[in-house]
């Protein structure tokens, strides 16, 4: 499972011109589900998102996590993160999870996150979304949680 996290001052998701969710300072995370992902990867990704140190401390070092700052968490499904772009001029999606499984795992991740972190919002799987954000820094990290052997 892939999480492209961005430290933001604010972020929102709109569908058909209507805002469906928004956060203030915190993390916007674009989520991609790959073949072989399951509930274990969703749980591990959430643990990493809540504990990943991307916010500045008093000395300006990235030593604080979402848990430390109390910021918002906005999860947005983005299947294109699982694309294979190694060859050619068009992405292949053979590494992406089948849509029904990806939707189920994304929704499970959102449910787990809303229980663990009440400031969690989300986009809608399969919808044509417009995502707006003010990236803070900019700070962007690629987190990938794969199946454990």
- For 24, residues 6+ apart whose C-beta sits below 8 A from its C-beta are 9, 10, 71, 72
In a domain, 148, yes or no: no
Q: Indicate if 78 belongs to the active site.
A: yes
Q: What CATH number did the domain enclosing 42 receive?
A: 3.50.80.10
Residue 40 in contact with residue 86, Cβ under 8 Å? no
- Identify the pLDDT of residue 149: 46
Q: Indicate if 79 belongs to the active site.
A: yes
- Phi and psi at 136, nearest 5°, equal -100, 105
In a domain, 149, yes or no: no
Q: Indicate if 115 belongs to the active site.
A: no
Please pick, among 55, 79, 106, 125, the residue that the annotation labels catalytic: 79
Where in the sequence is the domain holding 81, given as residue range(s)?
A: 2-143
In a domain, 22, yes or no: yes
In a domain, 59, yes or no: yes
In a domain, 72, yes or no: yes
pLDDT tens-place string over residues 73-111: 999 999 889 888 888 888 888 888 999 999 999 999 999
Count of domains for the chain: 1
- For 88, residues 6+ apart whose C-beta sits below 8 A from its C-beta are none
Please pick, among 78, 106, 120, 125, the residue that the annotation labels catalytic: 78
- Identify the pLDDT of residue 55: 98
- Identify the pLDDT of residue 110: 98
pLDDT tens-place string over residues 33-63: 999 999 999 999 999 999 999 999 999 999 9
In a domain, 136, yes or no: yes
Please pick, among 80, 85, 115, 130, the residue that the annotation labels catalytic: 80
pTM for the model: 0.94
């Amino acid at each position: 499972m892939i999480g492209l996290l961005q430290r933001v001052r604010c972020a929102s998701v709109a569908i058909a011109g209507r805002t469906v969710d928004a956060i203030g300072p915190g993390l916007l995370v674009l989520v991609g589900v790959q073949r072989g992902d399951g509930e274990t990867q969703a749980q591990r990704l959430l643990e990493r998102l809540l504990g990943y140190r991307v916010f500045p401390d008093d000395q300006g070092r990235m030593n604080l996590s979402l848990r430390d700052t109390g910021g918002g968490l906005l999860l947005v499904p983005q299947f294109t993160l699982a694309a294979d772009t190694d060859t050619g001029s068009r992405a292949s999606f053979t590494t992406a999870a089948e849509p029904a499984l990806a939707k189920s795992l994304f929704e499970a991740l959102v449910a787990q996150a809303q229980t663990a972190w009440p400031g969690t919002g989300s986009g809608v799987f399969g919808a044509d979304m417009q995502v707006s954000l003010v990236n803070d820094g900019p700070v962007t990290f690629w987190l990938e949680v794969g199946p454990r052997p």
